[in-house]
Amino acid sequence: MPKDSFRELVEIMQTLRGESGCPWDRKQTHKSLRQYLLEETYEVLECIDQNDMEALRQELGDLLLQVVFHGQIASENQDFDIDGIIRAISEKLIARHRNVFGEKVIETAEEQVHNW
């Protein structure tokens, strides 16, 4: 059975940050990664503006790496972990889409923006 690609990414990051991992990766903090998070976000936006789907796929991967990297650092600091990040966004999406996951009636995109 093929390995879950997201879990594989998380395991790669754990290895990179582990005892025999990469010195650069092990040295990083939330603060030191801040510039890369911003840079990757701008690169994603540029791909969208250029309608370059192959580059967008690559840059979204780089952006996802930033989330996984921050999640790993937080896990090591016992603040939260990647599963906590996923649970938090899942709960938020469900709460903000009561028209889909609850009984609220919303018929237009504008109503949804107001509900958000």
Query: Per CATH, which fold does 1-80 belong to?
Result: Helix Hairpins (1.10.287)
- Taking each helix axis as running N to C, give the angle between helix 5-17 and helix 53-76, from 0 to 180 degrees, rounded to the nearest 10: 50
- Assess contact for 81 and 74: CB atoms under 8 A: yes
pLDDT for 1 equals 45
- Assess contact for 90 and 82: CB atoms under 8 A: no
pLDDT digits (tens, 9 = 90+) for 1-23: 457 999 999 999 999 999 999 99
Mapping DSSP onto H, E and C, the string for 99-116 reads HHHCCCCCCCHHHHHHHC
pLDDT digits (tens, 9 = 90+) for 41-100: 999 999 999 999 999 999 999 999 999 999 999 999 999 999 999 999 999 999 988 888
pLDDT for 107 equals 80
Distance of alpha carbon 43 from alpha carbon 56, whole angstroms: 8
pTM given for the model: 0.87
- Assess contact for 11 and 19: CB atoms under 8 A: no
Residue boundaries of the structural domains of the chain: 1-80, 82-116
pLDDT for 20 equals 97
pLDDT for 64 equals 98
In 1-116, where does DSSP find H-type helix? 5-17, 23-27, 30-50, 53-76, 82-96, 98-101, 109-115
Find the radius of gyration of the CA atoms of the chain.
18
pLDDT for 111 equals 78
